[in-house]
Amino acid sequence: EVQLVESGGVLVQPGGSLRLSCETSGFAFSTSEMTWVRQAPGKGLQWVSYIIGSGTVIYQADSVKGRFTISRDNNRNSLFLQMSSLRVEDTAIYYCARVNRGQHLSMDVWGNGTTVTVSS
Amino acid sequence: DIQMTQSPSFVSASVGDRVTITCRASQGIDRFLAWYQQKPGKAPSLLIYAASSLQSGVPSRFSGSGSGTDFTLTISSLQPEDFATYYCQQAKSFPFTFGPGTKVDIK
């Protein structure tokens, strides 16, 4: 069974740092493109960052550029999001998802999300 | 960046109704368009990819159409489990962008 399980979301103060993890199983992680998407309370979906299987190509939303870093460990089948200089507006549920290039880059598998709250 | 708009933002419908949601891209995206369903408290799930291809396991009452800038998601006969919020998303270029969502509610 294909599974994505996020963790690491907590309450953090503005300006703080956090590392989210996404543990995967049931598919060829090392050759899969992955992404992070977030959803602020009561709001819509916002794409955050993307990484290819080798980790050598990365894209990020302007709103997180210079503050968030996506990475992966293919030996551990895990995806990460290192978040720094956190702002109140980064408060959201963070989802990891698999990007399926064979299906026009659609996000075909999603985790259940992990909640990040940035507040003093 | 490519902007995505959806209409309507809210639909009130009854079981058995035909529901159509429209998504428009600010520039041409070929068929790099996906539709997602999200139920309250749950993660989104993929319904349609490549504008009109049904994701495995998704009921055939869901269908998608369009290319370029204008796209449509149709639910042919609304079922109780279809009450949710629906998002379109373009994957033609980075940054990926989502539409603002359409909430389908019970009349």
Of B50, B99, B101, the CB nearest to A104: B50
Selected residue of A98, A103, A108 to mutate for chain B interface (largest B Cβ count, 10 A): A103
- Residue type at A58? I
Buried b (16+ CB within 10 A) or exposed e, B82-107: bbbbbbbbbbbebbbbbbbbbebeee
| B97, B2 Cβ separation under 8 angstroms | yes
Of A45, A50, A110, the CB nearest to B45: A110
pLDDT digits (tens, 9 = 90+) for A69-120: 999 999 999 999 999 999 999 999 999 999 999 999 999 999 999 999 999 9
| B78, B15 Cβ separation under 8 angstroms | yes
pLDDT digits (tens, 9 = 90+) for B33-66: 999 999 999 999 999 999 999 999 999 999 999 9
